[in-house]
Structure 1
């Protein structure tokens, strides 16, 4: 599963929060691996859907056998169902069985005692009612209804009717009686009866389609390889199916029909990803097919249901968005890699979740490195590391975590981003050959089974011949990360440099094998050291004072670091050490010291960095109030705005160019407004407004009938808000309402509210307020306290204040309307 971006929503709403704890925190309970009494062998379902009631009517035939000890009973997870009958299948007959059901667990008394290896089949006739079940989710999975009916009655004009399921963590049991634990695995067959106009998707292969006399069709999907219940999937809707192939296996993309022309642009790298992952793991893609489907109102980023990955609607991007970048490519890579790590070999318990998620997270680094080069891979790795470091609370959590309050708590930046960075360090320590052979050993030893972290350690130890207990104890079974303070002392008379490294973290000390690169007379010499103590000093000889001593030469350490180098040393590092993090560190240092000539020179030079991400970073760091920077950079920035090969860089350059307030650049901005890239057009429109507001207003009005997303939508809204262009509000409101829950939508709140505040049409104002309230209420409960405060006291209050100032009968009615919307929110709590 790829988590949503709700943390960044929260970061925008709250600049900082401190939670006071007056009482000692109660320790979280120990979470043991679930005991196995019975094992799933096969699940067969026959289901149909009641769209009016949002119910599933199902029949289940579940094959099981005792795990080891004889048993005469069976307990299944079955949440919020009506259980009509339970029986034991004996040939062509079904014998009724005694059962008890409490709304969560179905406890069945079997007809006899069954022994290990002895199969039996239980039949259950039931109705699932997911909308009538109240189950909380997590930050990654915003609720846990399991089965979702989207616009089932077709009452929402601009939303398709769909059905999709979300099993992780233990929500498959909302629509399918099962043993809902990740360590369980079984084969599966699902027959879905749906209106004939819809297509279906499930795990495995479509083996039969039958047209029924009542306008429905029954599709049967068969999964012949075992997988865990949380990976069971059903999808139904009016989709276009775009087909690709990989080594004779079907690869397909289910998208809403308007996105059919760009489906391959979004998902088309999938076959190449399958080939790449098969090669590096040494395990050929093991499943019969691979399909990807989009779902409206999906509760997370994406989910790796075996052979049938479900993506949030944000995956669907139009052609103009894709000119900037395919923002969903990392998610596509992430979910595919789960088909080895998570689906093929599964974490045996949620305590071991990192065995699934750290690999999927790290796959984004691996794919970017392979497809787009080392800088792109290192950029993905660095971004993920900062995602973990951004929240200080993460440092208190073990990676393999056997104490937690709720299984949903495991879906965090520790299981994902920290785990991925640990794999990156292990790869560096072992070397590529041993690392990837270790992955192969882990996968082949545990295929179609469940594993724990020790299985991973043993696989790497067997291949490398090295004891790795120290590594796993500190990184997997311990918490925190090192904080390093690095100093350098040069003794030219003795020809020695001392590197003093202090570990300043409050947690335990770390053992850190790293490389130290010493650059002397243009030549690099590498020394391998191991940091072990609170304060370590390493001394190296030289003939001529080194231009640079570079600790962690490969830049792989997961750490916070204060590296006490000079501006000259960082400048040398940028030009000669050369990898992405080396250059980024030098840019960041120079950005903080723009009054230093060496730093100014480096920043101007970095505007031509070979990696586009560092060009964007540098553009964003330029201090235009610094006359030297402004003079030195303008020509380069102007060239970048016109010629850079990356649309996102051109957009950023135009944004910077606007700060020069140079009317001579108006032509660049006017041309950019017409660019096919939303980002370039948006940056150009805002830049045009800075030099010629009337021209920007005219351009805005001309674009109101055209599609606008991303940066262009934000710019149109900002110009309309600044100038009170009321006729823009209906179009902007409609676009805002159609956006999924996302960072972009959150960022739209402020300019949208400013435009609403200036609008005199009461009906349009009410519609805008309703859309803001609808968005407020769609944000996951875990974040509502913070985001509600922002939306109510900043966004809605701003509109209310503006309407009070108008002081007309109509505006005062709107004031009361806004108050009622805020009061309704208070009552909800």
Structure 2
């Protein structure tokens, strides 16, 4: 599952990895520590589930369904008389049969036990029929009914989401990934709907009265039952083809114009993964369906589901959905063709999906994109490791949902990257090919992967898996170097400073040292295997800079980079990894750079001309406020990289208004309904800094633009506020009571108040559980300078729903602290309770 992923609701962009404390103790409580955690194993099986045949009739008006399912299975042992299935407590079972004969059954929680009239012979298939219905009285989170609103009448239909154990809410069967089965599903729905499910469409039958139609989907290849999917409703549908395999792209009615931008790379991704893995896409079709309210993406076998909010909007930037599309598509091999046999091995699904989607982007966008991806995985995992550390593969966890963490996703990807660099691409992908072909349509675990990779490469990987997969933690390195002129040697001092009390090892790592001299990096192989070691490397002359692990080949944390000031220019220009080059630039700019150093950075930025840049952030150049940098920023307005263009506009806003009107005219022209959202916002911000009053007309028109979360409108309203201030007009507060509510809300969130009178239900939950969000708000309030009201809209008649609440009023504010500027959007119910708070980033001032 891509939690295009795992989304953190509030102020997520403020959360950074805190400074490391090498002796820091990991908390003794949490989802991976007893007593909250407990040893868990895949359940014992009395039978081999072979085939599932389900029949559902949907009653959309009542939000209910009735169904029947035939589970064909073969007992694994003698004397089996009781067959147990997973069956949601919401389901009412009306009858059961064994081999066509009525059978006694009983219920206990979400378990259904069917008693066979006599022992079932082992190995002989037998059909068990279950008839059931759901009354629609209880709202189900993973059989989700979509309800139309005034704002969006096309919110019609339903969807299911099975991971990890939710398909039992509509389908009584074996609901754990350690058994695979083939499937067929018949679903009867309103005649103007379409239903998508796993496999191929066997039939689509319109009933004689023309009011209902029945879709029959069949999958003849076995897969885990949590990957069974149903989605129904009215859709815009675009078919396609890839090497004889049918592709389908489905979006809610009226959103068909988003299909190509969202899913257009699918054929290329299919070809890339099939070629690189040496295993062709393994299913008979591939459908991607976007639906309302879906949380992220789900890699159902041959039928991925994503949320509508993940549809691409070209004004958001370049192919904003490609990472999510590639992630879910990678799962069709890793997670679907082979599936983790128990949830403690989830990294085998999610780590591979994260790795492979960025291997694809490395192929299409270049090495700098991959460099930043590896850095991103590492930082996300390290941030989580401050709260807890656990082995990648574990049987000790609170519940399966706790495995959906950054260890499974990001550390999993980083460890696979480490293995990739250890083996080299040829051996690594040969090993994956062997793993997939030997174990296709089977549940797997880490031992299976280790054995398969060892068999394919001839390299015994038990030691690798022992330290990286079966133990917690990661290497924390500290290194320095000096030059031994007499012996012509670089003397490298390396320490592994990680706390080993929790089982984290001292790692044995095949590492590289990069030495930069005369514009060239030379590399030397070294072995890291001690808590402290001194390494001597023969070199003809003293290097200008020395980097441990210059290519970022393995997962590691280096809390303090002891780069000397004289090393930074060489790292800026000649380091092999984009993250190191960008870090060198930022370190130079963090001090008081000389004119020569600024010019060196300007030359590096100018040379960074591709669409996928090395230097992703040049804001520090803008903050220098140097007039001699104006030509650079004007040049960058035409850069193919969207962020570079945006940052160039903002940098110009740090400088005085130019004497000629050419630049002003250019920026005014950027404020239109076709330009990228970030560029429009940056242009409004800069025009407001230069002369808000003169540009009032631009701001006024911009308030009418539609943009996600009203992002353009917020900056435009701020521009109008600046114009009023320039003209001596008092700043009005359009909703004083709402402002008091907003401030009370922030105060209560900062203090973790669980029953605040100004919070709707979802916010009360967040206040009680979202400690990071609360702390971020507390920090903001502690340093609060101004809280400026921008607008207050009455939206009762618009039918807007957020966080399960009908929204009556939306209020916008600009928040200025000592360090940041934020735009906040509060959505309130008719009772005056805050249903949601949505912050906008602080780049636009």
TM-score range, shorter chain: 0.7 to 0.9
5 Å-filtered alignment, 1:427-826, equals 427-507=420-500, 508-522=505-519, 524-561=521-558, 562-595=560-593, 599-608=597-606, 609-610=608-609, 612=611, 614=613, 617-622=616-621, 624=623, 626=624, 630-641=626-637, 643-664=638-659, 665-674=663-672, 676-709=675-708, 711-719=711-719, 757-759=733-735, 777=763, 783=769, 821-822=832-833
Deviates more, 1:440-449 or 1:586-595: 586-595
Q: CA deviation at 1:174?
A: 0.6
Q: State the aligned residue count.
A: 758
Q: Which runs of 5+ in 2 are unaligned?
A: 19-23, 746-757, 793-810, 812-825, 837-845
Give the counterpart of 1:289 among 281, 285, 304. 285
Deviates more, 1:399-408 or 1:20-29: 20-29
Instruction: Report the Cα distance in structure 2 between the residues aligned to 1:380 and 1:801, rounded to whole angstroms.
Output: 36
Instruction: Report the Cα distance in structure 2 between the residues aligned to 1:410 and 1:396, rounded to whole angstroms.
Output: 12
Normalised to the residue count of structure 1, the TM-score between the two structures is 0.84
Instruction: Report the Cα distance in structure 2 between the residues aligned to 1:648 and 1:21, rounded to whole angstroms.
Output: 38
1:26 alignment counterpart: 34
Instruction: Report the Cα distance in structure 1 between the residues aligned to 2:762 and 2:610, rounded to whole angstroms.
Output: 38
Give the counterpart of 2:89 among 80, 85, 92. 80
2:67 alignment counterpart: 58
Q: Is the 8 A contact 1:514 1:552 kept in 2?
A: yes
Q: Is the 8 A contact 2:193 2:234 kept in 1?
A: yes
Give the 3-state SS of the residue equivalent to 1:49 in structure 2: strand
Give the 3-state SS of the residue equivalent to 1:559 in structure 2: coil
Q: Is the 8 A contact 1:724 1:755 kept in 2?
A: yes
CA displacement, residues 124-162 of structure 1 (integer Å, 9 cap, x when unaligned): 1111357626xxxxxxxxxx73200010x6676545212
Q: CA deviation at 1:21?
A: 7.8
User: Judging changes above 3 Å, is the alpha-carbon distance between structure 1 residues 174 and 776 closer, same or farther for their aligned structure 2 residues?
Assistant: closer
CA displacement, residues 506-532 of structure 1 (integer Å, 9 cap, x when unaligned): 133111111123344555432211101
Give the 3-state SS of the residue equivalent to 1:178 in structure 2: coil
Instruction: Report the Cα distance in structure 1 between the residues aligned to 2:429 and 2:109, rounded to whole angstroms.
Output: 46
Q: CA deviation at 1:182?
A: 1.1
Q: CA deviation at 1:5?
A: 4.8
5 Å-filtered alignment, 1:269-280, equals 269-280=265-276
Deviates more, 1:354-363 or 1:666-675: 666-675
Q: Is the 8 A contact 2:489 2:536 kept in 1?
A: yes
Give the counterpart of 1:401 among 375, 394, 400. 394
2:10 alignment counterpart: 9
2:118 alignment counterpart: 112
Q: Is the 8 A contact 1:584 1:614 kept in 2?
A: no
User: Judging changes above 3 Å, is the alpha-carbon distance between structure 1 residues 62 and 713 closer, same or farther for their aligned structure 2 residues?
Assistant: farther
Q: CA deviation at 1:604?
A: 2.4
Deviates more, 1:14-23 or 1:578-587: 14-23
User: Judging changes above 3 Å, is the alpha-carbon distance between structure 1 residues 311 and 556 closer, same or farther for their aligned structure 2 residues?
Assistant: same
Deviates more, 1:343-352 or 1:20-29: 20-29
Give the 3-state SS of the residue equivalent to 1:565 in structure 2: coil
Instruction: Report the Cα distance in structure 1 between the residues aligned to 2:764 and 2:219, rounded to whole angstroms.
Output: 35
User: Judging changes above 3 Å, is the alpha-carbon distance between structure 1 residues 262 and 535 closer, same or farther for their aligned structure 2 residues?
Assistant: same
More strand, by proportion: 2
Q: Is the 8 A contact 1:364 1:380 kept in 2?
A: no
Give the counterpart of 1:343 among 332, 336, 345. 336
Q: CA deviation at 1:543?
A: 2.4
Q: Is the 8 A contact 1:85 1:96 kept in 2?
A: no
RMSD: 3.6
Instruction: Report the Cα distance in structure 1 between the residues aligned to 2:50 and 2:341, rounded to whole angstroms.
Output: 17
Q: CA deviation at 1:586?
A: 2.0
Give the counterpart of 1:67 among 38, 63, 76. 76
Deviates more, 1:377-386 or 1:17-26: 17-26
5 Å-filtered alignment, 1:80-159, equals 80-90=89-99, 94-128=100-134, 132=138, 145-151=141-147, 157-159=152-154
User: Judging changes above 3 Å, is the alpha-carbon distance between structure 1 residues 201 and 724 closer, same or farther for their aligned structure 2 residues?
Assistant: farther
Instruction: Report the Cα distance in structure 2 between the residues aligned to 1:187 and 1:603, rounded to whole angstroms.
Output: 59
Give the 3-state SS of the residue equivalent to 1:97 in structure 2: strand
User: Judging changes above 3 Å, is the alpha-carbon distance between structure 1 residues 373 and 516 closer, same or farther for their aligned structure 2 residues?
Assistant: same
Instruction: Report the Cα distance in structure 2 between the residues aligned to 1:587 and 1:719, rounded to whole angstroms.
Output: 32
CA displacement, residues 284-314 of structure 1 (integer Å, 9 cap, x when unaligned): 001000010111111x210001111011111
User: Judging changes above 3 Å, is the alpha-carbon distance between structure 1 residues 177 and 792 closer, same or farther for their aligned structure 2 residues?
Assistant: farther
Q: Which runs of 5+ in 1 are unaligned?
A: 134-143, 726-753, 807-813
